[in-house]
A and B are shown apart, each in its own frame.
Chain A
Amino acid sequence: MLARQLTVEELASEITDGSKVALPPDYAYCSLTTVREVIRQHKRGLHLVGVPSLGFQADMLIGAGCVSTVETAAVTLSEYGLAPRFTAAVKSGAITMMDATCPAIHAALQASEKGIPFIPLRGLIGSDILKNRKDWKVGNNPFASDKDDPIVFLPALKPDIALIHAPIGDKYGNVWVGVRREQMLMAHAASKTYVTVEEIVEGNIMDDLQLKAATIPGIYVNAIAEAKNGAWPIGIPGGYDPDHQHLKGYLELAQTEEGFDQYLKEHVYVTKAEAAE
């Protein structure tokens, strides 16, 4: 079956207001091109899920007012510094935080992947992460009925949308993610998966067994769009490096709301420049 091939604009338009959107961390494959389009389309009320943490995508979406809730183990711009629009939004109460720990996000997505209602996880007991997550419960290990063995139960986490980028895809919607297998987990767990790829290649990726082992099958992929340099400015591992100058510039501007607005004006609200990238 052939995949739906969309433009980035069309793809972003299917991310509706209020959606729960799972995003990978900066060191995986992030669809920055779609993030910019989401900002241009003035989406509102998004619930971001970091798998397991978030970076520039989240900072930009939060700064642009697209986000109401952030569920993640961290929002980090790594060596560039604290994520400025995220920090400001938490301090002002503009977003609701659902702090987690990395394996809790992975495990809850795995529950969704398996179609089961919850999954247990060790750790967390006695932390303020747990205290602030009213949706998580502590129960007793049902297989240790003769002894007291408290364990945390996490409800399955089913994002409405997984939004990822990848080096290559094909016309059947198969998407090669290589070693970034959390993107496979995201696709398995989410209701819908939208993918941008550097290149839509000829033929069927699944015909090459070495590639197949690291490929999201088209059955999970709702639409695919070709977007050369779609991860700019954060780069993709094994592809192109982060644009350090640009990212440093972002960090400086995004310290204030005015500076961030200037960044949007110069780098996001410029549809034609984006197309020419």
Chain B
Amino acid sequence: MSPVLLEEILINAIAKNLDGLGHVAVGASSPIPGAAALLARSRSNGGMRVSILGSEDNNFFSDGGKEIFDIAGQGRMDAFFLSGAQIDGKANVNLVAVGDYNQPKARFPGSFGSGYLYFVVPRVILFRLEHTPRTLVKEVDFISAPGFSDDNVYRPGGPYKLITDRCLFHVNKQKKCFELESIHPGHGVDEIFEQTGFEFLLPEDEVPETETPDEATLKVIRGEVAREISEIYPSFASRVFGVK
């Protein structure tokens, strides 16, 4: 088999956080989370539904744009993915602007559904493929969706993991911060400290390396998952898996 790619390590690591769930939803522009959801579904023995925004094959909604939010509000969505132009150490997500909101230095598309889904979906997996002090910041400039809420605020959902191109963090709910869970092959703790703008916790023992998918898993990723994801993300599937 050809060498394992970072994308495959990420797909495998995310899928492990989805196993056993009933409904995983994937938003726009998310090929790696989409592939991870399809991988988890392929080994769920028919126990998992996956809905992918923008897909015709993997989108069972029939009641317009509101339905995905209504379904989440009712607790019928177990996991979702969010990214951010900035993510901070309190798991706040910024999808709007850098600098002053009214006169921004940079303006991004907007918050989309984050200001709602982050509150109601139990496992929100944060995903950012540029792990630098520019993106993982001490404090976001605009809170599209807060990582944590006061005790009186209805909040069945929230952040679960943060995965980047360098490492995987899990969320420490008691201390309301991130804790390093594993480091992807080829990266080190010092580098993670240098490249992260916020403070985070370390595990008590040595930080493990993020697992590399085994051969059987790789076969599924490069076979049926690659084929299915090419329906929505043809250029991703062709670049990573050579799907034509």
Contacts and interface: CB of A to CB of B under 8 A. Distances in A.
A106 B66 contact: yes
B217 to A, nearest CB: 28
Contacts of B69: 102-103, 106
Contacts of A83: 109
Interface stretch (A4-12, A180-188, A190-198, A263-271): A180-188
B64 A101 contact: no
B63 interface: yes
A74 B149 CA distance: 24
Given A91-B104, A93-B102, A122-B116, A101 B111 contact: yes
B146 A127 contact: yes
A211 interface: no
A137 B62 CA distance: 31
Interface stretch (A32-40, A148-156, A158-166, A226-234): A148-156
Which residue, of A90, A121, A183, has the highest number of chain B Cβ atoms within 10 A?
A: A90
B115 A78 contact: no
A182 B153 contact: no
Nearest to A141: B154
A86 B96 CA distance: 13
Given A91-B103, A93-B103, A103 B116 contact: yes
Contacts of B144: 101, 127-129
A90 B99 CA distance: 12
Given A73-B111, A75-B110, A127 B28 contact: no
B107 A128 contact: no
Nearest to A180: B64
Give the dominant DSSP class at B's interface: loop
A215 interface: no
B66 A103 contact: yes
B64 A184 contact: yes
Nearest to B73: A122
B2 interface: no
Contacts of A126: 143, 146, 149-150, 153
B29 interface: yes
A132 interface: yes
A82 interface: yes
A124 interface: yes
A135 interface: no
A83 B110 CA distance: 11
B104 A90 contact: yes
A87 interface: yes
Contact of A52 (B29, B54, B65, B73): B65
B142 interface: yes
Contacts of B223: none
B142 A128 contact: yes
Contact of B29 (A79, A125, A130): A79
Contacts of A236: none
Contacts of A117: none
B112 interface: yes
Contacts of B73: 103, 122
A99 interface: yes
Nearest to B65: A182
B60 to A, nearest CB: 11
A110 B66 contact: yes
A51 interface: yes
Contacts of B145: 101, 123, 127
B193 interface: no
Given A91-B103, A127-B145, A180-B64, A121 B152 contact: no
B153 A125 contact: yes
8 contacts: A53-B110, A74-B111, A76-B109, A99-B110, A102-B116, A107-B66, A122-B116, A125-B153
A-B pairs, top 10 by smallest CB distance, nearest first, are A181-B64, A74-B110, A101-B115, A103-B69, A123-B116, A106-B66, A126-B146, A123-B119, A76-B109, A74-B109
